[in-house]
Amino acid sequence: VMLAKKDFPEIEFLLYGKENEIKKYMTDDKNVTIIHTDEKINSDDEPVKAIRRKKTASMVLAAQAVKNGEADAIFSAGNTGALLAAGLFIVGRIKGIDRPGLMSTMPVIGKDAGFDMLDLGANADNKPEHLANYAVLGSFYAQKVRGINRPRVGLLNNGTEETKGSELTKKAFELLSQDPTIHFIGNVEARELLDGAADVVVTDGFTGNAVLKSIEGTALNLMALLKQSILDSGTKGKLGALLLKDALRKVKNEMDYAKHGGAVLFGLKAPVIKTHGATGPEAVAYTIKQIHTMLATDVVAQLVAHFEEMPTAKDETQS
C-alpha cells in the first residue's frame, strides 16, 4: 500500500484488521483509514459458513463497504474461498452472469505481454453457457483494462480440431462460434498457452486451476533446477552463471505473473481481487495499479450495460 500511494496519491485506502498490527507497517497515514476489528476468517474456515457467522471479520466488513458504496473495490490476500463467497453473497453478481469467473493474467514467454485465463477455480463444475460468459468477461477485461484491440479468444482443449474434447467443450465451441461480440479463434492446447496462442483462454474451473498450478510449479521448479545445477557444476558453472546473470534475471521476470496484478473474480458488481498470502510489497503495488485501471476504465459498468442489452432465455422463447 505504501508503494502504491507514491504512484496513486489520490487513492483513499480503507484497511480492515487489527489497528496496532497495521500501524507497524505504515510510513505514511495520508488517505489511509484503519477500521479496527479483532475478528478474521482463518485459512481452514469453511468459506460460506465463515462469511455468514463472522459478521465483523475484516473481509466481511470490507465487502459490506463495497456493497454500501463506501468503497469501490475489495482486495485481499486471505482465504480464497471466503473471498469468493463474500463477492458472490455480499457484493453480488451482475445480472445475466450466472457464474462469475476467477481470472488471472499469465505471462507470455519472450514477449512483454500476457493472456487472461478463466475460470481458475471459482467453479469446479461448469455448463457450456458458463464458458460462453467467460469468453465475454475475458474479452471485456483484455480490451478495456489491458488495452488489446479485438482480443483473440481461445477455448482450452486437448486438440485444436473442432471435433476434439468433451461434451462440455464441444457445446461451448458451438456457442463461442456463434457469438458476434467476441473474436473466437477456436481451440488451443495447454502447451501453446505461454507462446501467446490467445489473448483470452476459456476453460472450466477445475481444469483452469490444475493448469494454473502446473504453470506455477513448473516455473518454480525450473528456477530451482537451474540454481542447483549451477551450484553443483563447480567454478566454471558459477563463472558461466555470472556471465548469464542478466539473461537469467530476464527469464525470471518474464515468468513472474505477479507484475500483472492479482486474480479477479470477474462478473461481480465491483472489482474483487485476490492475491497470494505470501505476496510481497511490489506485487501488492501491481495489484493496486490493476484495480486503479479497472476503476478508471469503468469496465464493470460497461459489463453491466452489455449484459443488460443481451436477450434473456425468456426473451428468446417469446420471440
Residue 31's CB is within 10 A of a number of other CB atoms, namely: 13
The string of DSSP codes covering 74-111 is: EEE-S-HHHHHHHIIIII-BPTT-SS-EEEEEEE-TTS
Omega before 119 cis (within 30°)?
A: yes
Q: What is the pLDDT along the chain (319 residues), one digit of tens a residue?
A: 666 667 777 888 899 999 998 888 877 788 889 999 999 898 888 989 999 999 999 999 999 999 999 999 999 988 888 999 999 999 999 998 989 999 999 888 777 678 999 999 888 889 999 999 999 999 999 999 999 999 999 999 998 888 888 999 999 999 999 999 999 999 999 999 888 899 999 999 999 999 988 887 877 787 777 777 777 777 766 677 676 667 667 666 666 666 677 899 999 999 999 987 666 777 788 888 899 999 999 999 999 988 887 765 444 434 3
Domains, the chain: 93-318 (3.40.718.10)
β strands within 143-296, DSSP E = 152-156, 183-188, 200-202, 263-266, 272-274
Whole-angstrom distance, CA of residue 40 vs CA of residue 36: 11
Residue-wise pLDDT tens digits, 200-234: 999 999 999 999 888 878 777 877 777 777 777 77
Looking up cell 462440455 gives: 168
